[in-house]
Each structure stands twice: as structure tokens, then as C-alpha cells.
Amino acid sequence: MKTTQQAVTFIPSNESRSAKRERRALQGQAVAGQQEPFWKKLGLLAGDEEGPDTTNRQPFGPHSLKGPHRLHPAPHRASTMTFAAAYPFITESGLGHEGTYIGSDVFGSGAFSYDPWVLYDKGVISGPSIVIIGTVGTGKSMCAKSFVARSITLGRKAAVASDPKGEWVPVANAVGGKVISVGPGRSTRVNPLDAGPRSRDLSNAQWQAVVRQRRRQLLVALVSLMRQGVPMHPVEHTALDMALTEAVAANETPTLPMVLGYLLNPSKETRELVGPDGGRAVAHSLRRTVSGDLEGMFDAPSTVSFDADAPMMVMDTSALIGASEQALSLAAACGATWLEAAITNPDGGKRIVVYDEGWRMLADPYMLVKMSEQWRLARTYGIANLLIMHKVADLNEIGDSTSGHRQKALGLLTEADTRIIYRQKHDSMRLTKDALGLTEAECGQVEELPKGVGLWKVGNRSFIVANQVTSDELSVFSTDHRMMP
């Protein structure tokens, strides 16, 4: 059955009045079936003699929603939440003024403030951990330093668990914090077997179990590091346990040389249990921490104490620059265990814990376990971990792609609810996009970001933020002194 042909009209934007009149007349005729379709007369469909497929089209009319009527949609109003999906950055309503001033919201044109505890309280984020990622010299440390220093003026505290370049020392000095510098030639001694401040909630027995567990883990980690991952024999575990128990019985706060002494000269009871040489190989593995390149750092009672009231504590390991990877790992394990004992105290107040150049720590199995624990228990301890690294691809050097170690390290990035991305090179973007859950629009922005400007992903909100620093801050936080002509 032949149907009456109707058409979609193509109206030139500069259509004159007479042309409009003629078109309308033709349309009227076409609808009435008196003439051939008007589009043929107007020559709008040259080369298409059949015209458009108009089968099943409805007749023109006010309800057909097609035809010669121009569309005049009514102004549409939607919430910023709805628009944010279509126009990220631009339609953000902001995170509010509470918290530490970071800088300006580039697209929102307002001030940008941030505080993980405030945002957690408001339900914007579900965890206080932060990751800052960006290529060399883009302003990651500057952002972290200004955030930490300003947060301290608002009553927060900070601990820098890794400072391999020593660049947090001036920050600590500026805010009245304390610096613990370990390394060859430094007089400071840090005993990684220190118990640390005790939590009020724990009974005597619970506290002893916590300390014992921490000491055991460290000793096993030090031996594994020396053996490059070769696992310890069950007999060796027993020997190490017995040596630790005997050292603790003799001295409430044992040191590594004491444990080593009991391993080399086991008691009668230990000898009966593990044989005369059961702990000898472990002793030799552990010896490097008290002699050799780490001698005089972690092998005596601490000459410093963790000052829980100090606004900032920095573990400066810059004197170890140039040391072997193994020595750096051993030092990181000892330093971090000591610091962890101090910061994982629920009574210690709210504290930001910084891991600058964090990829080195992620590559270390023991440190990764420690960091994962701190990530997981951040809310319990009232700490906000802040990990700084260059690119996600750095994790590719850890194990193979399916290794549990690499997946765990990646997990720390993906679990961080605040992700700050500074400029990334194009070839690093794909991994960053996947690991940090960036959209295409965000990736496009990240590749173009100038120095000092970062993309902040806070929960599921996005902001482009220019970190504003004063000239006084710049003179303390800058890392460019050695680049000056």
C-alpha cells in the first residue's frame, strides 16, 4: 500500500520571507497529496529521486515534534551534581572552606581547601590515605610540604617516614619539629627494637604481645632482606625466637647486638631445642645490621626519643645516599619500624605520615606489608598516609605482572581515596588512568598541567588545583637551590 510521503524539512538559516511563504505553500500541497513532494521542487535532495524513507512517519502537526517548526527548548536547570557528569571541573560546587588552604580551584575560580579528617567526617571520602603522583620536578613535594606545614598550624601533626633527599629537614625546622638523621658519621642511634609509646587501651599482656610481634617481624624481615627473599628454615625461626626471648629477659629493651649475641652463644635450653648450630646462619645474616655499612646506626640504645608532642618528626636518611640497595632497605626497615611503634598509637592525635620517594618502599616486601597495615588501620590510629611517587610504571619493576607483591602495591594506590596527579608523560598515562581511575577528560588535562598545578581526585570529585605558595614558603620548601646558575 502506498503511503502519503511526508518529509523532514531542511530550513536554511538565512531563509527569506518570500522563500518561507513558498515553502509553506508547497508543504501544504504535499500534505494534501496535490503535488509532488516539496523537497523535489526545492532541489534539497538532488540525486535522491526517491526522497527520504518516510514510511510510517506521522503527519505534520503540533504534536509530531517534526516539520517546519523551529525548536525553542525551554531553559533547563539542573543541579551541579548532574552537570558535573557532563562538565567535570567546571560545575564543581567545591569542598567547602574547612581544612588547610592549598591554592585556587582553577576552573571553579575559588579557594581550594582540604583536610582528610574533615572530608571523612562529611562522607566525601571513605579513607584518609593520599597519593601524589607526577613526573620529576612538577611540584609534588611542594604540594605535600605546603599541605603539611599549613595543617600543623591548624593543630595536626606530621611524621616523615622516608626522606631520602633530606628535603623535609628545613620544613621540620621551620615548624618547630624534630629531625632524626641516621647515616654514616651521624651521632644519632635508633634502636629498632624500642617498644614505642604504649596505648592506654591495652592491658600488660596485650601490650607485651604487640611489642613482641613487632620485634619478631622486624628480625625476620632483616634476615630475609639479607638473604634476598630466601625463606628461613623452621629451626632458624625457633632459634631467632629463643634468642629474642632471652634478650628481652635479660634487658627490657634489647638491641640487635644482644639478640645476635644469644644467636651466636645459645643457652643450654636453645641448644637442646635447635642444636648447637641451629641459629648460626641466621646470626650471620643479621650481623650486617650491626657491622659493615650500617654499623653505628641501629645497633645501640636510641639516643633520640620520639617526641609525640612535637608537631613534626622527620626521619632523615639522606646520609645514606649512594649506599647499596640492600643497606637502604635494611635502614628503611629499621627506621620505619621505630617510627611505626611511635605513630601507631591511637592516643597520638591526628597525624599525616609522609612517604616521599615512596616507590622505593613499595618495592620492599617488608615495607609494603608495613605500609599496607598502616593504610588499613589509618582510621584506627588517626593517621593520614601520604605517598609520593613518580609514576605507576615504577611498580612494574616489582615482581611480575601477576605477582602478589605488585598487586598489593597497586592496591595501595587504588585504595587511596585522595589522588593528586601532577603532570604525567603521555606514555605513562595509560597505567595511571587504569590505576587511579581517571576519565578521558581528566587524562587530557593531566598531560598539559603546568608546574605547581595538579588534578585532585577526592572521592569521586575532580578539581584542577594550583598550589599557591608564599615567597617565604618557597624559600624553605624549594628544592631548586642546586639548580641555580
- By rule CB under 6 A, what string of x and - marks binding of each residue 284-313 to ligand ATP? ------------------------------
Residue 478 near ligand ATP by CB under 6 A:
yes
Q: Least CB distance from residue 395 to Mg ion, whole Å?
A: 18
Judged by CB, which is closer to Mg ion: 141, or 146? Answer: 141
Residue 137 near ligand ATP by CB under 6 A:
yes
Residue 170 near ligand ATP by CB under 6 A:
no
452 binds, among Mg ion, ligand ATP, none (CB under 5 to 8 A by kind): ligand ATP
Among 6, 141, 302, 337, binds ligand ATP (CB under 6 A): 141
Judged by CB, which is closer to Mg ion: 132, or 378? Answer: 132
Residue 385 near Mg ion by CB under 5 A:
no
User: Interface with ligand ATP by CB under 6 A: which range of 373-381, 402-410, 456-464, 476-484?
Assistant: 476-484
- By rule CB under 6 A, what string of x and - marks binding of each residue 451-470 to ligand ATP? xx--------------x-x-
- In the region spanning residues 222 to 261, those forming contacts with ligand ATP, defined by CB under 6 A, are none
Residue 267 near ligand ATP by CB under 6 A:
no
- In the bound complex, which residue of the shown chain has the CB atom lying closest to Mg ion? 141
Q: Least CB distance from residue 144 to Mg ion, whole Å?
A: 8
Judged by CB, which is closer to Mg ion: 306, or 359? Answer: 359
Residue listed under C-alpha cell 648460626: 280
User: Interface with ligand ATP by CB under 6 A: which range of 78-86, 136-144, 147-155, 293-301?
Assistant: 136-144
Residue 391 near ligand ATP by CB under 6 A:
no
Judged by CB, which is closer to ligand ATP: 138, or 302? Answer: 138
91 binds, among ligand ATP, Mg ion, none (CB under 5 to 8 A by kind): none
Among 26, 119, 142, 160, binds ligand ATP (CB under 6 A): 142
Please choose, from the candidates 168, 179, 298, 282, the residue with its C-alpha nearest in 3D space to the C-alpha of residue 232: 282
Judged by CB, which is closer to Mg ion: 160, or 222? Answer: 160
Per residue, what are the HEC states of the chain? CCCCCCCCCCCCCCCCHHHHHHHHHHHHHHHHCCCCCHHHHCCCCCCCCCCCCCCCCCCCCCCCCCCCCCCCCCCCCCCHHHHHHHCCCCCCCCCCCCCEEEEEECCCCEEEEECHHHHHHHCCCCCCCEEEECCCCCCHHHHHHHHHHHHHHCCCEEEEEEECCCCCHHHHHHHCCEEEECCCCCCCCCCCCCCCCCCCCCCHHHHHHHHHHHHHHHHHHHHHHHCCCCCCCHHHHHHHHHHHHHHHHHCCCCCHHHHHHHHHCCCHHHHHHHCCCCCHHHHHHHHCCCCHHHCCCCCCCCCCCCCCCCCEEEEECHHHCCCCHHHHHHHHHHHHHHHHHHHCCCCCCCEEEEECCCHHHHCCHHHHHHHHHHHHCHHHHCEEEEEEECCHHHHHHCCCCCCHHHHHHHHHHHHCCEEEECCCCHHHHHHHHHHHCCCHHHHHHHHHCCCCEEEEEECCEEEEEEECCCHHHHHHHCCCHHHCC
Q: Least CB distance from residue 484 to ligand ATP, whole Å?
A: 10
Residue 192 near ligand ATP by CB under 6 A:
no
Q: Angle between the 440-448 and 426-436 helix axes, to the nearest 10 degrees? A: 140
Residue 141 near Mg ion by CB under 5 A:
yes
Residue 113 near ligand ATP by CB under 6 A:
no
Q: Least CB distance from residue 483 to ligand ATP, whole Å?
A: 8
User: Interface with ligand ATP by CB under 6 A: which range of 3-11, 34-42, 134-142, 186-194?
Assistant: 134-142
Residues that bind ligand ATP (CB under 6 A): 134, 136-142, 390, 451-452, 467, 469, 474, 478-480
Residues that bind Mg ion (CB under 5 A): 141
